Chain A
Amino acid sequence: AAGVIQSPRHLIKEKRETATLKCYPIPRHDTVYWYQQGPGQDPQFLISFYEKMQSDKGSIPDRFSAQQFSDYHSELNMSSLELGDSALYFCASSLGGSTEAFFGQGTRLTVV
């Protein structure tokens, strides 16, 4: 069965650079969530989209932005990267209202 696809799997950037993370949800899923997991930490919710509209917002820095496109894929744009942004970024998708979220394998971002 198709799963949530995230790209790239690994990314190395320098401080102050910009990064774009992509998430392709399970086909027919209309809801996408982004989570950030720092080293040894629990996943922290960043932002979510339902039917291309932002549905909830968590602890997402102002330097980050995200959107969901007409094909339901989502991109997380991160600017002015800081060392503390180094983390595993998970995307999850679900079908609207009542199902559990399925997670991708994550993108490991390292800022040097």
Chain B
Amino acid sequence: GNSVTQMEGPVTLSEEAFLTINCTYTATGYPSLFWYVQYPGEGLQLLLKATKADDKGSNKGFEATYRKETTSFHLEKGSVQVSDSAVYFCALRLGDTGFQKLVFGTGTRLLVSP
């Protein structure tokens, strides 16, 4: 089946530290890959996406590269801020049609201290 595996949290970092949150996937076919962020008490916000192999998604200093050979989509940021504290979800969606559902990983909580 289709699934997403994320590293368990919480990930605790000091401000300006380098961030990596690992994400690997299993899918039949060629999925689009996404990172969503959920701030406390808020809904899910799309952070970045990649729709084909070797694509790099980037937004707000975050980056992730679609690696087909390792079936991975690791999230990175060079210098985290306290305001980045949130839960990050990796997700996949099969196909190009918008009514394909998203399959989420279990989420990784990031805590950034000053």
Q: Which of these, B99, B105, B106, contacts A94 with CB under 8 Å?
A: B99
Number of B positions contacting A (CB below 8 A):
21
Q: Which of these, A50, A101, A104, A105, contacts B102 with CB under 8 Å?
A: A101
Task: Closest B residue to A95 by CB, please name it.
Answer: B98
Task: Closest A residue to B4 by CB, please name it.
Answer: A42
B85-114 interface code vs A (CB 8 A; 1 in, 0 out): 000010000001111111111110000000
With known contacts A43-B44, A43-B89, A97–B97 Cβ distance under 8 A = yes
**Is A86 interfacial (CB 8 A cutoff)?**
no
Number of A positions contacting B (CB below 8 A):
28
User: Closest 10 A-B residue pairs measured CB to CB?
Assistant: A105-B43, A94-B98, A103-B44, A42-B104, A45-B101, A55-B99, A50-B99, A97-B97, A103-B43, A42-B106
